[in-house]
Structure 1
């Protein structure tokens, strides 16, 4: 037994045993050294997610924990531990044992990262032949996800670096068939002057130091992508064959965009209709909401919010996000929002409401994996009880305190909870003037910035809005977090202000 204990503690990898809720039941000396904590502070006291970085914690709760419950294992997942000297990159492999406990092996990723960099350098020559194919695949993927003419133009401009260009302008045809500058990156749209009058071929051509890529669709010429090639050290000459293929893909995307634009307005009217339920009127509380339709996609989304009285002294609030887009997501959103109202009651409580929703979503497949935060505010005392199924944490804006994200009461998205287990809930005691901001992921998620950074930005922006009246505060948060000109997904916000019992 002593030899086994020594082998356990001296293993070069971190070894853990977790309960089914993620609580660390046992850990070897290697892992405890990485996180810089003694065994007495860890074993039986904290969950593995609490020892991860903010991004790792969210990834564990929304992806890894559900994956373990569904498939029973997860292999070589890159995460970051919070160590005494900063973040520790690791690779985690976890397996659910027959007794329900989770066996976890955590290995250092530093050596692996160094090896991968060396391997990439060694394969540089071999990969150059495949680069053109990868570029075309990236462009095709971007265009396939683009919606509307604006979305296609934006997708093309985002791929400018991959096309070996340092600037680009997208010209699109107007209703009269004339080419007009639509948008640009790295230069002002139209700053290069009008395009030459010509009969546009289907192949990309070089003219006056620029590469002109015609965007032909089935119905004719939709536009031209004008690229200024990269002339930096080591820059490759433009690949006209690849650029011609890009133009063909963009032309087909613009064909689809024309059909979609005609239905986009109707789709968004439906979304607005689903979110216009009257808000509760009560002198003890103020509920202010906002909805910002997505800029990156014109499709109807599954974001929603709601607020309603459970009785004269309890207010129920909810915010959620259904996975996917389109009418199916909108229908699932409406069903889920109605289910919350039907299941909630004065003596039910947030945890039991989410537990009942787990059963409900089994009958509504499009609602599975939806994230929901449901809470109940006692209008007499200011106590806010809530439970969070995979949703982003609410922002607490205390009248006289420091704004902070509330990470308590969290569990997996709907339909992914361990059967028979109760969902956790938490409570926050508000004083008159305190606020809670609930929001969907479109407010903070960006491709070009990590989620922890964006959450820090939200806390700072929320702090600057505390002195504003609720309507102005919501406008301030949305304008600062969603600057004009930046793409974003659908966004729902609900600002809850307790004014006091009297």
Structure 2
């Protein structure tokens, strides 16, 4: 009996016998040591629930005790004992006796190691979740920076990522041409109120003056600094400096790329504007009104153009063309083709032969391949208009009485695609005094959500409705009514020729 009693007392787990109401009838030494009380203060006097934490006691009374009475057993229930050194996490298994005494046999094992393991596992999981979240944010920011166009686009991508990066406000500082950092844009705060400490700026993100500063180093120099105000509100996570440093490196590369992009855009824009703003011919017998409307492409330059010039005192040439594509290459090809049209046109050449002469030219200029073009010549004395259309949308003839029609004659393939041995087509019709001709590029009529025939019919209808406006007002109205601000569109060139012969 002595050996059995010793084994009972020295068991590595707490062993108890409880009365039906939960009062401790027998408890081994291990259990008494855990609760830090002698047997005389516990046995027959205290219920097990009274030695549990508040939550454990409620759980015992509302769940465990009814469960033992109904099912006679409860396995591995996590509870906390109140001991002399604080709470001790334990696992309890209890079985109701079947001998009619109502007693309950209880085994309690320490869960301290298991609890520590669970805490470590939870911490590791939180760390993994945080790492995954940082990786996801970094991927999203990198994607946004890769898609950003120009310095404005890079700054917008950085500010858009401020909150995911753990900031409630941010200001993006960019270097000006002289290398001086100036505030560019902000979110959650006013640009005017921002302040940037003096350098030098390392390559890593740093905490300074209650903010986090992320240097944006380009390949050769500091391109900017992202200043973040950390989100210190409830649930706000502190900014991760390693992630921010990686973002800064990606942003520096993006700003280098943006600088080259902006330079190319400026060159292309200047080239296109120089070509499209050339002086228009002036004569009392006609009025040429034009417009160029850039599409919703970031570069804002492309291959659309218009031109008009006098072949002699009696013939006015007008042309509208469209190079496939956008960007600097398209703008350069547009300038070359525009010059080529002027070079081959002449009083005795005629529209069809002008287009035929352009075919070998575009074959030597890859960027001009498949260009479309409408070229016409108006006799300023008779009103006869001859034209040829190389794959281009049809001109619109607007009568002085307001009647408008699409002119589908004189059509052939885009430039460079002519069939050997086949002559380019041309057509002609007579204008009455006060009549107008509208030439345009496909950006005016093409829409992804609308059929082209319907858009062409609408253009003729709008042209008829604006016939009473003066030419410049008519052009503006056409643009506004055909290109609603809410809808995307390609580049648009438009030329409106009005004929009013002198008596």
Question: Normalized against structure 2, the TM-score is what?
Answer: 0.52
Q: 1:413–1:388: structure 2 CA closer, same or farther, 3 Å change rule?
A: same
Q: 1:257–1:367: structure 2 CA closer, same or farther, 3 Å change rule?
A: same
Verify: 1:449 aligned to 2:452, yes or no.
no
Cα deviation for residue 418 of structure 1 reads: 0.9
Cα deviation for residue 386 of structure 1 reads: 1.0
1:248-287 → structure 2 map (5 Å cutoff): 253-262=254-263, 264-287=265-288
* Alpha-carbon distance in structure 1 between the residues aligned to 2:320 and 2:328: 19
* Alpha-carbon distance in structure 1 between the residues aligned to 2:442 and 2:156: 21
Aligned position for 2:75: none
* Alpha-carbon distance in structure 2 between the residues aligned to 1:371 and 1:316: 17
Q: 1:363–1:485: structure 2 CA closer, same or farther, 3 Å change rule?
A: same
Cα deviation for residue 337 of structure 1 reads: 1.6
Cα deviation for residue 475 of structure 1 reads: 1.8
What secondary structure does 2:472 align onto? helix
Q: Is the 8 A contact 1:151 1:297 kept in 2?
A: no
* Alpha-carbon distance in structure 2 between the residues aligned to 1:363 and 1:156: 43
Aligned position for 1:409: 410
Verify: 1:465 aligned to 2:461, yes or no.
no
Cα deviation for residue 342 of structure 1 reads: 2.2
Q: Is the 8 A contact 1:381 1:501 kept in 2?
A: no
Q: Is the 8 A contact 2:440 2:495 kept in 1?
A: yes
Cα deviation for residue 272 of structure 1 reads: 1.5
Listed one character per residue, the Cα deviations across residues 132-164 of structure 1 (whole Å, up to 9, x for unaligned) are: xxx999979955xx45x456689999xxxxxxx
- The higher radius of gyration belongs to 2
Q: Is the 8 A contact 1:295 1:488 kept in 2?
A: yes
Aligned position for 1:369: 370
Matched residues, number: 357
Aligned position for 1:491: 492
Q: 1:153–1:136: structure 2 CA closer, same or farther, 3 Å change rule?
A: closer
* Alpha-carbon distance in structure 1 between the residues aligned to 2:486 and 2:421: 47
Q: Is the 8 A contact 1:297 1:489 kept in 2?
A: no
Q: Is the 8 A contact 1:379 1:501 kept in 2?
A: no
1:295-444 → structure 2 map (5 Å cutoff): 295-298=296-299, 300-444=301-445
Cα deviation for residue 404 of structure 1 reads: 3.0
Q: 1:217–1:317: structure 2 CA closer, same or farther, 3 Å change rule?
A: same
> Which structure is richer in relative contact order (CA contacts within 8 A, separation 6 or more)?
1
Verify: 1:475 aligned to 2:476, yes or no.
yes
* Alpha-carbon distance in structure 1 between the residues aligned to 2:410 and 2:157: 39
Q: 1:309–1:252: structure 2 CA closer, same or farther, 3 Å change rule?
A: same
Listed one character per residue, the Cα deviations across residues 392-447 of structure 1 (whole Å, up to 9, x for unaligned) are: 2222222224323322222211111111211112223221111111122333445x
* Alpha-carbon distance in structure 2 between the residues aligned to 1:297 and 1:290: 19
Listed one character per residue, the Cα deviations across residues 104-146 of structure 1 (whole Å, up to 9, x for unaligned) are: xxxxxxxxxxxxxxxxxxxxxxxxxxxxxxx999979955xx4
What secondary structure does 1:302 align onto? strand
Q: 1:281–1:255: structure 2 CA closer, same or farther, 3 Å change rule?
A: same
Show structure 1 runs of 5+ residues with no match: 1-134, 158-169, 183-187, 195-214, 225-244
Q: 1:153–1:305: structure 2 CA closer, same or farther, 3 Å change rule?
A: farther
Cα deviation for residue 383 of structure 1 reads: 2.2
Q: 1:176–1:316: structure 2 CA closer, same or farther, 3 Å change rule?
A: closer
Q: Is the 8 A contact 1:292 1:491 kept in 2?
A: yes
What secondary structure does 1:257 align onto? helix
Q: Is the 8 A contact 2:223 2:255 kept in 1?
A: no
What secondary structure does 1:358 align onto? helix
1:18-417 → structure 2 map (5 Å cutoff): 143=148, 146=149, 149-150=151-152, 253-262=254-263, 264-298=265-299, 300-417=301-418
* Alpha-carbon distance in structure 1 between the residues aligned to 2:251 and 2:433: 55
What secondary structure does 2:382 align onto? coil
Q: 1:311–1:178: structure 2 CA closer, same or farther, 3 Å change rule?
A: closer
What secondary structure does 2:311 align onto? strand
Q: Is the 8 A contact 2:145 2:254 kept in 1?
A: no
Q: Is the 8 A contact 2:322 2:441 kept in 1?
A: yes
* Alpha-carbon distance in structure 1 between the residues aligned to 2:455 and 2:147: 24
What secondary structure does 1:268 align onto? helix
What secondary structure does 1:287 align onto? strand
Q: 1:137–1:222: structure 2 CA closer, same or farther, 3 Å change rule?
A: closer
Q: Is the 8 A contact 1:279 1:307 kept in 2?
A: yes
* Alpha-carbon distance in structure 2 between the residues aligned to 1:312 and 1:471: 24
Show structure 2 runs of 5+ residues with no match: 1-139, 160-171, 195-215, 227-245
CA RMSD of aligned residues (A): 5.7
Q: 1:401–1:300: structure 2 CA closer, same or farther, 3 Å change rule?
A: closer
Q: Is the 8 A contact 1:396 1:406 kept in 2?
A: yes
Listed one character per residue, the Cα deviations across residues 26-82 of structure 1 (whole Å, up to 9, x for unaligned) are: xxxxxxxxxxxxxxxxxxxxxxxxxxxxxxxxxxxxxxxxxxxxxxxxxxxxxxxxx
Q: 1:155–1:426: structure 2 CA closer, same or farther, 3 Å change rule?
A: farther
Cα deviation for residue 469 of structure 1 reads: 0.3
Q: Is the 8 A contact 1:303 1:320 kept in 2?
A: yes
* Alpha-carbon distance in structure 1 between the residues aligned to 2:310 and 2:181: 56
List, as ranges, runs of 4+ consecutive aligned residues in structure 1 with deviation greater than 6 Å.
135-141, 152-157, 170-182, 215-224, 245-251
What secondary structure does 2:464 align onto? helix
What secondary structure does 2:320 align onto? strand
